[in-house]
Amino acid sequence: MTVTTSTLYAGCPGTGSQLSIIKHTFTGTDPSRGIYIQAGLHADEHPGLLVIQHLLQGLSAADREGRIKGRITIVPYANPTGMLQNVLGFWTGRFNLANGENFNRNFPNTAEALKALSEDDAWKEAEANTLISQALKDVPYEDVVSASKRALLREAVTHDVVLDLHCDTAGILHLYTNKRYTERATELAAALGIEVVLLEEFAGGGSFDEACTLGWQWLVDQSRVPASRIPFTVSIELRGQADVNDELAAADARHIIHYLQKEGYIEGGDPLQDAVSREQVQRFPLEGTVHVPSPAAGLTVWKKRPGEWVAADECIGEIVLMSSGVDGLRVPIISPVAGRILVQPLMCMVKMGQRVALIAGAEPQHERRKGSLLLNF
């Protein structure tokens, strides 16, 4: 068993400088099976960065004991460009300040790259991993961010499982994945203590997790590989931005280790139990989630918090109007659906139209369309 540390080229942000992305690879007795875990793609989301540090300690211990079986790739920070974007002490790592683009959108479409590559007769004899790697190598990049995206995707797509660690503003544990992996997502959620799973067929927007699957789906459609080869890709929301502490991070890392043991990437070790039972895991369609806009500008005062259930038309909070004179007027925030609150803003002052809650409902909403399920904020 070995562990190696190397870097991925992440582009040149300016004259005389170059960015790189660190990766650690733990290679065990069966490197044909691989799992890829990254954090910090949104560079203002820091819980995952600390989880990775605790996870590396656990993996290093397993490596010293000879218990690594599969190939485990860890990227401690996936977005060096975003990690440079500090404005007056505030991290602005969700959007590229150069053009306003969300860092987790518009990843290369590997299926399109493979279609171009397939015009060469040599592709018919190539192994699938080689095909995808070559197709992505040929994708041009325009700037430092697109270079990073290509590098991350090219690394991740050769793995069987991809875990992308995120967080929201203020919220509870939840995860996003494709409906094809409903049962695997339930197993993962139980291992990690996640009670809410959001499922979709095609979210759209070119997010990292979905981009990892598109090339493999195209190869399946061409009868080059079985459907089982499409990577199990997941975006995991590790609560909210303020939830950065050793206790939570150490527990999350232990749960990931437990999952790696269940999946056979690590042998032996201390026996661990699932953090929650499968029966506690609630599955919702992504089309059933509602982004509730603020009905006014002002201060939020909450009656319901993330994790709580609400009824349709129930008041979940109020907006205190700063400009209402001496009357102290408030505007209620009404839930449009019955469901569970997943997310609220971290900051209490909000503007009109800003998202003030993400609520998971059981029934698809007519305005939520497959292919346009991810907002750009």
- 31-48 pLDDT, tens digit per residue, is 999 999 999 999 999 999
CATH 2.40.50.100 fits 287-361, yes or no: yes
Can you give the pLDDT at residue 352?
97
Question: CATH topology for 2-280?
Answer: Aminopeptidase (3.40.630)
Can you give the pLDDT at residue 189?
98
Residue 320 CA neighbour count, 13 Å, CB half: 10
Domain with CATH 2.40.50.100 in the chain: 287-361
Can you give the pLDDT at residue 268?
87
DSSP three-state, residue 360: strand
Can you give the pLDDT at residue 11?
79
Average pLDDT for 161-178? 98
Q: Under a CB-based contact definition with an 8 Å cutoff, are residues 114 and 133 in contact?
A: no
Q: Under a CB-based contact definition with an 8 Å cutoff, are residues 139 and 150 in contact?
A: yes
For 122, phi and psi rounded to 5 degrees? -65, -25
Average pLDDT for 113-135? 81
In this structure, which amino acid lies at residue 4? T
Query: What does the block give as tokens for 129?
Result: 């991993």
CA distance to 179, 262, 336, 344, per residue, from 309 (Å): 23, 31, 13, 14
- 180-202 pLDDT, tens digit per residue, is 999 999 999 999 999 999 999 98
- Sequence-ordered list of residues with C-beta below 8 angstroms from that of 287, at least 6 positions apart, any chain: 200, 364, 365, 368, 369, 370, 373
Average pLDDT for 84-93? 94
Please state, for a pLDDT cut of 90, what percent of the chain lies above it.
80
Can you give the pLDDT at residue 302?
98
Can you give the pLDDT at residue 96?
96
Can you give the pLDDT at residue 366?
72
CA distance to 116, 121, 128, 136, 300, per residue, from 125 (Å): 16, 8, 9, 18, 60
* pLDDT over threshold 80, residue 26: yes
- 306-341 pLDDT, tens digit per residue, is 999 999 999 999 999 988 777 889 999 999 999 999
Give the confidence band of 15 by pLDDT, cuts at 50, 70, 90.
confident
- 210-263 pLDDT, tens digit per residue, is 999 999 999 999 999 999 999 999 999 999 999 999 999 999 999 999 999 999
**DSSP-assigned beta bridge partners for residue 171:** 343
Q: Return d(Cα 208, Cα 74) in angstroms, integer.
A: 15
Indicate the average pLDDT of the chain: 93
CA distance to 199, 223, 287, 293, 338, per residue, from 364 (Å): 11, 32, 5, 18, 12
In this structure, which amino acid lies at residue 121? D
Average pLDDT for 275-303? 96
Query: What does the block give as tokens for 127?
Result: 């192994």
* Beta pairing, strands 90-91 & 196-200: unpaired
Can you give the pLDDT at residue 55?
98
pTM for this entry: 0.96
89: left (phi over 0), alpha (psi -120 to 50) or beta: left
Q: State the DSSP H helix or E strand holding residue 133, giving kind and residue range, or none if neither.
A: helix 128-137
Q: Return d(Cα 298, Cα 296) in angstroms, integer.
A: 6
Give the confidence band of 203 by pLDDT, cuts at 50, 70, 90.
confident
Q: Under a CB-based contact definition with an 8 Å cutoff, are residues 51 and 77 in contact?
A: no
Can you give the pLDDT at residue 373?
62
Q: Cα angle at 249 between 355 and 231, to 5 degrees? A: 75
Domain with CATH 3.40.630.10 in the chain: 2-280
Average pLDDT for 69-91? 96
